[in-house]
Chain A
Amino acid sequence: MKILRTLALGASMIAICCTAASAAGLTVGFSQIGSESGWRAAETSVTKQEAEKRGITLKFADAQQKQENQIKAIRGFIAQGVNAILVAPVVATGWEQVLGEAKDAKIPVILLDRGIDASKDLYLTSVASDQVKEGSVAGDWLVKTVGDKPCRVVELQGTVGSTPAINRKKGFEEAIAGHKNISIARSQTGDFTRSKGKEVMEGFLKAENGGKNICAMYAHNDDMAVGAIQAIKDAGLKPGKDILVVSIDAVPDIFQAMAAGEANATVELTPNMAGPAFDALDAYLKSGKQPEKFIITQSKLYTPADDPKGEYERRKGLGY
């Protein structure tokens, strides 16, 4: 059985490699922000995998959260005469000069995962997720799951004022807006971390009659959800059954919780921003086809029906 699966996996890998091998021989520079989170580390390793799959030589530069390092790296790439440059910009401003230099050298630039405040003709395209959509996918799942039953939701927000927290809150609220039976009872920030997620959930559980008044928990990221799941268990309730758990990101640990029946749904923020970027680049270099200015990655919903154990195995080696 195992051999069969390995063979099947190998066959599919070969299929992928041969359909995508057309970008082979290219040299692409990638200026990454750093490795501040597990997701960022996964993005780096997926980008390297995607490049390898396509036969692209990837020159990788870690900026350690500093724009000046990114600018230096981009200048280096231009001097080396790469075919294209990928940038995950650490900040939104201050890119005109260096991207202008790339444009003069006729090297296409693709932005990954974050946007910049600069003229749109300075880059070929930008690949990013739609954070409002992520929130609304989570909200839609809850609406469908609870049906007409009344449901009081507690929300664990990301860092106050951060873009993903604002957008994921907005998307979720939009999705549940037309449904009077679902309401957000409490909402606090868990700073996107496990420990704060646990602490905030402990507070919510006490304040909502030991958790008996809570029907679902929505967390802006999986890490907070993992912390909150522990808090729910400590309060003597069953996460996933007594309190529904829905969150965003699709990191490996949430799939472990899902496999154990303690989490119900997660919306993927894919670390594969490079795949669509390479595809767009390939089409552009081959036929001169201008890609869309903003490529939006898919916000896929995962539930226990989607083989959480397998997803965990697939993701755990990516550096999350």
Chain B
Amino acid sequence: MKRLQLTEIVRPQLLALACILLLNWFVFPGFFTITWQDGRLFGSLIDVINRGAPVAILAIGMTAIIATRGVDLSVGAVMAVAGAVAATAAVAGQPLVVTLIAALLVGLLCGLWNGSLVAFLGMQPFVATLVLMVAGRGVAQLITEGSIVTFSDPALIFVGTGSLLGLPMPAVIALALMLAAHLVMRRTAMGLFVEAIGTNRSAASYTGLRTRTVILTLYAFGGLCAALAGVIAAADIRGADANNAGLWLELDAILAVVIGGTSLLGGRFSIPMSVLGAVIIQAMNTGILVSGLPPEFNLIVKASVIILILVMQSDRIGEIVARRFARLKLRGKT
């Protein structure tokens, strides 16, 4: 029987999250305190899942794209566009359903645009999505006319700040989306298609797989996720900030996917692990906020922790640790 590797039993990501949470608790003893306030849970841990939700949602869409050796750099800009559309619709007095459908539809269109460039024109995903990354923010600014469009529609605000069973709405949405996406990937052949394309696209198409359709679908889903994250981000601050909404979040989303163990070379992927990656990033951010560290150190701390996590995850380190472990066991026997 094949013996399980140490890295397969204890996922390095879970270990990393535990370490970061422990460290947070060390610098701020009240980190794990959760209280019930105004009909919802309140505490730093809740902040982690609430603030981490937009990046988690982006990462859900990004995972499958990266698994096909692609990347979507435009998600941050699409967030800004969707937020702008939602805010303008809300200000115009549209009900929540119309607002949501309009914003999600715009996200879907952005995704289809990216997907068409990649799947049908054969453009490099990096370049193809760079177009919308730059242009998208301009579109968002056009929609908001350069100012922050604020709204007071309670239904839309609920999407960003409300709570369900005491849990923040963004986290509930992210969780539901993760489960749905995971089921589609693992309970249908979709996951297999994605892995086949990521491993070798031409081989996949020779087996009769419609690779173009699959890739188009994945980018469209990515755009949809970005739009959802954009609506949440706008609802959270009750306004669409075209200049800053989702700024650089595409990088956080890619990082979350990488921390989750999905290979940038395509093939292997896991959506729940990407969400875990997003939670790890946010646990670090929240930890820095409650630690009282001067802001000049923020980026240094983040970089060091991320390097540490990626080193822990590398196959080489896993092998070395496993070998040491095996040797220790051997010695114990003799």
Specify whether A and B are partners.
yes
**Residues from chain A with Cβ under 8 Å of B245 in the complex:** 195
Interface of A is mostly: helix
A195 touches which one: B37, B147, B233 (CB < 8 A)? B233
B237 touches which one: A203, A206, A230, A320 (CB < 8 A)? A230
Task: In the complex, identify which listed stretch (A14-22, A31-39, A128-136) lies at the interface while the others stay far away.
Answer: A31-39
Over the window 97-114 of chain A, the binary record of Cβ atoms lying under 8 Å from chain B Cβ atoms (1 yes, 0 no) is 000000000000000000
Interface of B is mostly: mixed
Contact between A195 and B236 (Cβ–Cβ < 8 Å)?
A: yes
Smallest distance from the beta carbon of B256 to chain A beta carbons, Å?
Answer: 17
Task: In the complex, identify which listed stretch (A184-192, A269-277, A285-293) lies at the interface while the others stay far away.
Answer: A184-192
Contact between A207 and B295 (Cβ–Cβ < 8 Å)?
A: no
Smallest distance from the beta carbon of A190 to chain B beta carbons, Å?
Answer: 9
Contact between A319 and B145 (Cβ–Cβ < 8 Å)?
A: yes
Q: Chain B: which residue is nearest A185 at the CB level? A: B292
Contact between B237 and A198 (Cβ–Cβ < 8 Å)?
A: yes
CA distance A219 to B32 in the complex (A): 28
Contact between B237 and A207 (Cβ–Cβ < 8 Å)?
A: no
CA distance A188 to B239 in the complex (A): 23
**With A160-B298, A199-B51, A230-B237: A188-B289 Cβ-Cβ less than 8 Å:** yes
Contact between B43 and A206 (Cβ–Cβ < 8 Å)?
A: yes
Q: Is A41 an interface residue (CB 8 A)?
A: yes
Q: Chain A: which residue is nearest B30 at the CB level? A: A206
Q: Is A239 an interface residue (CB 8 A)?
A: no
Interface size bucket, B side? 35 or more
Q: Is A172 an interface residue (CB 8 A)?
A: no
**With A195-B233, A195-B244: A207-B290 Cβ-Cβ less than 8 Å:** yes
Contact between A194 and B289 (Cβ–Cβ < 8 Å)?
A: no
CA distance A256 to B233 in the complex (A): 21
Contact between A41 and B146 (Cβ–Cβ < 8 Å)?
A: yes
A: number of interface residues (CB 8 Å)? 34
**Residues from chain B with Cβ under 8 Å of A200 in the complex:** 289
CA distance A194 to B147 in the complex (A): 13
Contact between B289 and A204 (Cβ–Cβ < 8 Å)?
A: yes
Q: Is B263 an interface residue (CB 8 A)?
A: no
Contact between A195 and B237 (Cβ–Cβ < 8 Å)?
A: yes
CA distance A236 to B40 in the complex (A): 11
Q: Is B42 an interface residue (CB 8 A)?
A: yes
**With A186-B292, A188-B289, A195-B245: A38-B148 Cβ-Cβ less than 8 Å:** yes
**Residues from chain A with Cβ under 8 Å of B68 in the complex:** none
Q: Is B286 an interface residue (CB 8 A)?
A: yes
**With A206-B30, A236-B37, A319-B147: A195-B241 Cβ-Cβ less than 8 Å:** yes
**Residues from chain A with Cβ under 8 Å of B35 in the complex:** 210
CA distance A227 to B160 in the complex (A): 13
Q: Is B268 an interface residue (CB 8 A)?
A: no
Q: Is B208 an interface residue (CB 8 A)?
A: no
**Residues from chain B with Cβ under 8 Å of A227 in the complex:** 237
* 191-238 of chain A: CB within 8 A of chain B: 191, 193-195, 198-200, 202-204, 206-207, 210, 223, 226-227, 230, 234-236
Contact between B295 and A188 (Cβ–Cβ < 8 Å)?
A: yes
**Residues from chain B with Cβ under 8 Å of A199 in the complex:** 47, 51, 285, 289
Contact between B150 and A319 (Cβ–Cβ < 8 Å)?
A: no
Q: Chain B: which residue is nearest A41 at the CB level? A: B146
CA distance A37 to B141 in the complex (A): 10
CA distance A39 to B295 in the complex (A): 25
CA distance A194 to B243 in the complex (A): 11
Which residues on A are within 8 Å of B, measured CB to CB? 35-38, 41, 157, 160, 186-189, 191, 193-195, 198-200, 202-204, 206-207, 210, 223, 226-227, 230, 234-236, 253, 319-320
Known contacts A36-B243, A38-B148, A160-B298, then 5 further A-B pairs from the complex at CB < 8 Å, ordered by chain A residue: A37-B243, A41-B145, A203-B47, A236-B38, A319-B146
| CB-defined A-B contacts under 8 Å, sample of 9 | A160-B298, A186-B292, A194-B148, A194-B241, A203-B289, A207-B292, A236-B37, A319-B146, A320-B147
